[in-house]
Amino acid sequence: MQLGKWTGSLKKYWHRYSPSINSSSRLIEPFRMQQKTPECIYIIFSLSEVLLQIEVVGICGSDVHYLVHGRIGPFVVNKPMIIGHEASGTVVKVGKKVKNLKPGDHVAIEPGVPCRFCWYCKTGDYHLCKDIFFCATPPDDGNLSRYYVHEADFCHLLPPNMDLEDGALMEPLSVGVHACKRGNVRVGAICLILGAGPIGLVTLLSAKAMGASKIIITDVHDIKLQMAKRLGADYTINIEHLSKKGIINKIRELLGEDPTISFDCCGMEQCVRVAVTVSHKDWRSCYPCRFRKIRDDPSLASALMREVDIRGVFRYNNDYPTAIEMVKTGKINVKPLITHHYTLEDTLKAFHTAMTQEGNPIKVLIHANPNWKAK
């Protein structure tokens, strides 16, 4: 459990709240997770923060990666860390300066809180802040717990027609929204999405909502491609037994032309090569997923000669409001992504499902509220 962040002077009149019990799921080391239940705690939070009862937390691929490998690139788990960053909650108590929320409000929790003072923050790219606090990114604890403290202006109020499960999915959806903004998806865009995992699917949903006229998506699992088709993909390709040339030929055969925008949502070396090879002149290849090791390849030189813009995509930046508005207005339905439900006490079972892919999970949700009952 995170006991609040000491973000100011004691002169600020700190609030104190004592729920009867709090539980959290903590990553101890690769392949080892501990569930902790203290008898009673005190949570201290500042005037600009809110105390939340966590309701729903989705399992992200990064959570699984930390559990299995203990690191993602430069982010290394060196001490026990509470996991979870795809979350929604109910406001329990608010700091005295909080005006936008009140007890009882349902919110989607944007997990990154920047410093607000650096060059990145002041120029609007707060997601690139080097001093950002980000849930479940070492050394920062996540929010897979009964209660949690967070800055109020990074808690987004959910409208009446969105429930707490929708709220938890605003985090991955914001990744897709941000990717499509970086790719400048607009009416008439022809999109290639490589990878039909959760990030590929939310990119598909976002591109469709932003006006893409054709979307083709690839994967090595038919079950995922079936879901992509259900969510609006125009074409799907199982690339398990195809070479790079075979994939490119199939894409061009189905589309009748090259895609204007490509999204690599799997990080596989071959898919990166495909994306930069088939992307149309003057258009973009975007990468919401982290690359694995990529060796020198002639396709990169070809992309440069065709003036293909290659753009990274890192998390999200002012994208939660857009994601919420898309779901609120019916442009996007995230419910089909939800496949599995678990209680907080069954966190280990939830991660077993996510890790082994038993039952073909897409989005696994953990319900932290002890009063939750399966529908």
211-229 pLDDT, tens per residue? Answer: 999 999 999 999 999 999 9
**pLDDT tier at 374 (50, 70, 90 boundaries)?**
confident
Residues of the chain with CATH 3.40.50.720: 182-312
- ∠ CA 188-191-197, nearest 5°, is 140
Cα separation, 324 vs 233, in Å, equals 22
Q: Bigger pLDDT: 40 or 354?
A: 354
Q: Does residue 85 surpass a pLDDT of 80?
A: yes
Alpha carbons within 13 angstroms on the beta-carbon side of residue 44 total 9
Q: What mean pLDDT comes out for the span 194-211?
A: 97
Average pLDDT over residues 294-312: 71
Of 145, 139, 135, nearest to 1 by C-alpha is: 145
Two tokens at 275? 């994306």
Residue 24 is predicted with a pLDDT of: 63
Question: What mean pLDDT comes out for the span 186-202?
Answer: 96
**Percent of residues, the chain, with pLDDT higher than 90:** 72
Look at 255 and 270; give whichever has higher pLDDT.
Answer: 255
The residues of the chain that CATH labels 3.90.180.10 are: 10-169+334-367
CATH dotted code for 10-169+334-367? 3.90.180.10
Q: Mean pLDDT over residues 64-91, rounded?
A: 92
Domain range 182-312, CATH class? alpha beta
Who wins on pLDDT, 310 or 56? 56
Q: Is the pLDDT of residue 184 over 60?
A: yes
And the tokens for 30?
């690769």
Pairing type for strands 190-194 and 261-264 reads parallel
Output 301 or 124, whichever has higher pLDDT.
124
pLDDT above 90: residue 58: yes
Across 151-173, average pLDDT: 99
Alpha-carbon distances, residue 201 vs 11, 82, 128 (angstroms):
47, 27, 24
**Tokens standing for 205?**
């949903």
Q: What was the pLDDT predicted at 40?
A: 47
Kindly compute the dihedral angle of the four CA atoms of residues 99, 105, 106, 111, in this order, to the nearest 10 degrees: 30
**C-alpha angle 356-218-221 in degrees, rounded to nearest 5:** 30
